[in-house]
Structure 1
Amino acid sequence: MGGAVYHFGQYELDTERRRLSRDGQRVHVEPQALDLLCHLVEHRDRVVPKEELLATLGHGHTVTEAALATWLRTARLAIGDSGTRQQFIRTVRGHGCHFVARATVTSADAPAPPATPTVPAVAAAGQADHEVIRFCRSVDGTRIAYATTGDGPPLVKTANWLSHLDLDRTTPMWAHWFDGLTRDRQLVRYDERGCGLSARTVPSFTLDDLVDDLDSVVDAVGLDRFPLLGVSQGGAVAVAYAARHPERVSRLVLTAAYARGQQIRAGNDAERYAAQVDLNIARAGWRSQDTSFLRFFASQFLADATPAEWDAFAAYSRQTTSPANGLRFLEEFARIDVSHIAHRVTCPTLIIHSRDDARVPVAQALELATLIPDSRLILLESRNHLFTAADPAWPTFLSHLDNFLAE
């Protein structure tokens, strides 16, 4: 079928240029998910069988049903849909998928929408507002990209690698986080220095640098006092910030977090050897961008994901930063240590951790709960370091977060 430009809702899909836009601003979608969306829109007069989608997206290669499910979820998120909110793409159980929204068609030769001088805003899944990416300067002059999304009381999320503000809204690894975190509140997030849309070439990645970056972002947004969420190594940054600025942090939420990096917390020769081996493997893997290493790396974050999802994680990790910076992150995070200042956190603190976290042992959550005076610990039944959308622990995490912030 020849290329055309389809208009539905606030969206415009150019199937020839392979471009999705919302109100004239481009929405970045991974190629396979965009191909799926184009095929469904072009064949909107019927239910498209799953077998047809598998054959079309495979381009002669085998595609797993898990990969198809991931691309379908990504396509839905890109246009504000979800598995339960099927206003555009409806799943017809036992048959396939059907693009059900009303669409108008214009010629593919029509001029493309004018380029905007600002960084493209990406529509929030399930929300009508735009997200605008802005920039500020940290203490050492490093450019930091940040964004605010949603309406209501603020929630600041510290940066953590991996992230990319312009891609995260439609990336299966993160999209459900922002759908959940922006519910009835304003989410403030930013890219780590050396990562995403923040400056890639930076002098250092120390804990002090990361705390300064967070301080610069909340100053740029104009926040005086706010709850703070730290995920993974972003948890150590959140602890350090709350300890240094108790007057600004009203509540602290830590998930998949740790007080001491792997090299610091190694307590005997065997643990020190294991930490060094882990870092040596990471050095070799990130320098070579070896696929088997990146899949192994992904499995530490998403233990219960499929191989196709691990490969998607690996592809995403390549987009977020350079191999050299990836290695610098891993080396710095292995040495991070906030155990000596965690006792200075004075705000109520909620610590949530997977019992069988494959990346950060549950002992680290226990240590944080011991060190932070006014803290409570909740352990969830999961193996994932980062909760996936399909993880039964995910809605439980959101429920605990919402209740804690509402107290």
Structure 2
Amino acid sequence: MNIKAIREQFPILHQEINGHHLVYLDSAATSQKPRSVIDAVNRYYEMDNANVHRGVHTLGSRATDAYEGAREKIASFLNAASTQEIIFTRGTTTALNLVATSYAREACGEGDEIVLTPMEHHSNLIPWQQVAKATGATLKYIPLQEDGSISLEDVRATITDHTKVVAITYVSNVLGVVNPIKEIAAIAHQHGAKLVVDGAQSTPHMKVDVQDLDCDFYAFSGHKMCGPTGIGALYGKKALLEAMEPIEFGGEMIDFVDLYESTWKELPWKFEGGTPIIAGAVGLGAAIDFLNEVGLDAIEKHEHKLAAYVYDRLSTINGITIYGPEEGRTGLVTFNLDDVHPHDVATVLDTKGIAVRAGHHCCQPLMRWLEVSATARASFYIYNTEEDVDRLIDGLQQTKEFFGYAIG
């Protein structure tokens, strides 16, 4: 993988921040966009802008072809059995809320269980809290190991015949841990439960085969995988989606409307009421083309190499606490510098042109499990290099000097 050639395709990286060349280490929050994605969105608005599925004129046909073409690309990217299993959403949060509201509120009742983990992002936690309140179901949590991973033994001990839904992230946005989704799916299905996967942090970084994983639902966002903001998708097994009711009603998702009754379109359109995010879908399709051209295997290999390098470099600094397992992590590292608030760390790094994330990362229960209020996080993607890691290490050493520490 030619990193220099890849970096050339990201216009935003070619700038200075506070007098320094930008080192962008916040891709777990949102990735940067290559020129091909930016051009695809611009081209849609400049040449093809029209509403989809409605007009018979040329622009309407071109817009519809581009929109549905993006759906086909997503289905292939995830190895879904059909494009009918791909629902466009605003992103992971909307997709997970759709499942919680349309599926789980009907499937769950008093005495049923919803199984989660303490590492879940708020978007894969709060919707299930609301389902439990509405239905009387009980929330249960698979315990974490000392390094933040989960064991299949604990999975088997937590999921029971009363479990209706297991909702779990494929990759933690704090710990970088990769959860054994395929094995968890098998355990869930043995008990008649459905598996919902938060794929926000996995889809950009590794090959995902929803049929091989045998998950029932899979949600992801486009903006973390070189696509535009405000677009994502939900994969759901066709039989489940067909049995679910839409949660938004209006134009585009209807088949027949009378004064007192209405019927819905077939999948996937019954879940896509109103004018969809057409330009976002076009941009997401272009992002998938870009990632396929680079190669998911190459991306995963590159990130594993960077993750190992940054872990080793950080481990040499006195006063640094690193969270999550040393092995088997994706391209992010979460850490704290002793006695320095993460926001202060991020602020000093920003003066050096280095962008990292600081805060609770929408994972407050996990922060409490880690016994911290917040952490700093550096996350890497296809455009990052070992030189970026070195800049981070130098910046942290200067941060220690600034706050009166000896350099480790």
Relative to the length of structure 2, the TM-score reads 0.22
Taking structure 1 as the reference length, what is the TM-score of the superposition?
A: 0.22
Q: Which has the higher helix share?
A: 2
